[in-house]
């Protein structure tokens, strides 16, 4: 039986019922169909596509057009999965009007079920205005990859009492602004636990330990496909990179030594005047 797609309202309901769920990234049609067949409830078309798909070495250069280009095939491929469209750097930090305009574009052109944006207290007014305009918003605090230069690199956030207090303030501001859920990235487990307890909306943790409401992971990381970098919090649930290289090398060898294509993989139709 096909799984039932979550709605925005289900996020809070799952939290109230203590029901956990999972959330992975997806950037293309084929992968979206695979995720859709799995038990995974949520897909993020993340701006991590800058690293994973486009080889840009980060998320900052990713544009609205690139995001929307990748959202469309994911939406087509995963009709039973809740889909989140990430707002890229520069699409919501100029003005509230610009944020609403770009949020509208993501929902109308990308076709996702909500948008996600990075930032705490300083983006509360933006989130509030977007929600008021009818755009469901997922927050994202802790390590925010779009602003890692300000954070001094890819580092654990909330690792001091002051840092943890700032995270709690951010989380409460995002919730009060009307976000229906919130990603929490790269935070000590104990801080994530306290924050999860303090919020009514679900906390979606990536590198935030086991006590959050939902685990998030970049698909290419967990499948062992992305070779540039492996964060400490990534567990390899498969090693597809090694499997893919082995398959390519077998294809190469069998093609060169004539094993492939065998008759099974050829059109063996006799054509007059042509020898097989
Ligand atoms: O773009 C992304 O993949 C993300 C996750 C790290 C949550 O924002």
CA dihedral (245, 250, 255, 261) positive or negative: negative
Place 122 in a pLDDT band, splitting at 50, 70 and 90: very high
| Percent share of the chain, pLDDT over 90 | 94
Taking the centre of ligand 1 as the mean of its atom positions, its distance from the CA of residue 217, in whole angstroms, is: 8
Mean pLDDT of the chain: 96
Tell me which residues are annotated as active site. Answer: 185
Domains in the chain, CATH or no CATH each: 8-241 (3.20.20.60)
Taking the centre of ligand 1 as the mean of its atom positions, its distance from the CA of residue 22, in whole angstroms, is: 13
Residue 236 has pLDDT above 80, yes or no: yes
Q: Which ranges of the chain does DSSP label H, i.e. alpha helix?
A: 8-17, 29-37, 49-52, 64-77, 96-105, 124-132, 148-151, 161-177, 189-198, 219-222, 240-256
Q: Is the CB of 44 under 6 A from ligand 1?
A: yes
Question: What is the torsion angle, in degrees rounded to the nearest 10, for the CA atoms of residue 44, residue 46, residue 52 and residue 54?
Answer: 130
User: Which residues touch 99 (CB under 8 Å, ≥6 apart)?
Assistant: 87, 91, 92, 93, 117, 126, 129, 130
pLDDT tens-digit series, residues 130-156: 999 999 999 999 999 999 888 878 889
Q: Using the atom order of ligand 1, give the atom closest to the CA of residue 23.
A: 7
Name the nearest CA neighbour of 199 among 170, 159, 162: 170
pLDDT tens-digit series, residues 158-210: 999 999 999 999 999 999 999 999 999 999 999 999 999 999 999 999 999 99
Label each residue of 83-110 as H, E or C.
Answer: EEEECCCCCCCCCHHHHHHHHHHHHHHH
Taking the centre of ligand 1 as the mean of its atom positions, its distance from the CA of residue 182, in whole angstroms, is: 12
What is the DSSP secondary structure assignment for residue 274, as one 8-state letter? Answer: B
pLDDT at 148: 86
């Amino acid at each position: 039986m096909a799984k039932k797609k979550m709605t925005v309202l289900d996020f809070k309901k799952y939290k109230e019922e203590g029901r956990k769920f999972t959330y992975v990234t997806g950037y293309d049609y084929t992968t979206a169909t695979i995720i859709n067949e799995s038990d995974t409830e949520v897909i993020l078309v993340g701006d991590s596509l800058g690293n994973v798909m486009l080889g840009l070495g980060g998320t900052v250069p990713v544009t609205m057009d690139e995001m929307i280009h990748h959202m469309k095939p994911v939406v087509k491929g995963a009709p039973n999965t809740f889909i989140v469209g990430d707002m890229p750097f520069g699409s919501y930090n100029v003005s509230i009007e610009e944020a609403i305009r770009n949020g509208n574009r993501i929902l109308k052109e990308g076709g996702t079920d909500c948008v996600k944006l990075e930032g705490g207290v300083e983006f509360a007014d933006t989130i509030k205005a977007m929600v008021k305009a009818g755009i469901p918003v997922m927050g994202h605090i802790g390590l925010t990859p779009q602003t890692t230069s300000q954070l001094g690199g890819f580092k654990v956030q909330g690792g001091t009492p002051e840092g943890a207090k700032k995270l709690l303030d951010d989380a409460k501001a995002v919730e009060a602004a009307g976000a229906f859920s919130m990603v929490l990235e790269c935070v000590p487990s104990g801080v994530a636990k306290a924050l999860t307890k303090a919020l009514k909306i679900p906390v979606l943790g990536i590198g935030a330990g086991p006590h959050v409401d939902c685990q998030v992971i970049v698909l290419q990381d967990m499948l062992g496909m992305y070779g540039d970098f492996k964060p400490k919090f990534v567990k390899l649930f498969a090693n597809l990179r090694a499997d893919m290289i082995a398959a390519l090398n077998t294809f190469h060898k069998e093609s060169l030594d004539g094993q492939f294509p065998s008759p099974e993989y050829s059109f063996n139709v006799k054509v007059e005047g042509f020898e097989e």
